């Protein structure tokens, strides 16, 4: 992976951090979860999440009644 635009950052999405400390859109990547946490772009508040992948993941794991 190459990063040509290190200083240029897109608007950050807020990812959902689950109770096990993993991001919902990338549950297998603990590194990503850690990074998101450190950078303050992870939240445990469902309503605050803006990452579309996380929202999708949350929806699919949410118990349907």
Residues in contact with Zn ion by the rule CB under 5 A:
15, 25, 51, 53-54
Closer residue to Zn ion, CB minimum distance, 6 or 36: 36
| Residue 7 or 57 having the CB closest to Zn ion | 57
> Strands (DSSP E) along the chain, which ranges?
15-16, 42-43
What is the closest distance, in whole angstroms, from the C-beta atom of residue 36 to Zn ion in the complex?
8
CB of 22 or CB of 51, closer to Zn ion:
51
CA 41 → CA 9, 63, 64, distances in Å?
Answer: 13, 25, 27
């Amino acid at each position: 992976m190459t990063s040509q635009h290190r200083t240029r950052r897109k608007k950050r999405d807020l990812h959902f951090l689950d109770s096990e400390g993993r991001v919902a859109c990338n549950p297998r990547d603990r590194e990503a979860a850690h990074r998101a946490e450190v950078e303050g772009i992870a939240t445990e508040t469902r309503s605050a999440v803006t990452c579309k992948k996380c929202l999708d993941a949350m929806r699919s794991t949410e118990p349907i009644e």
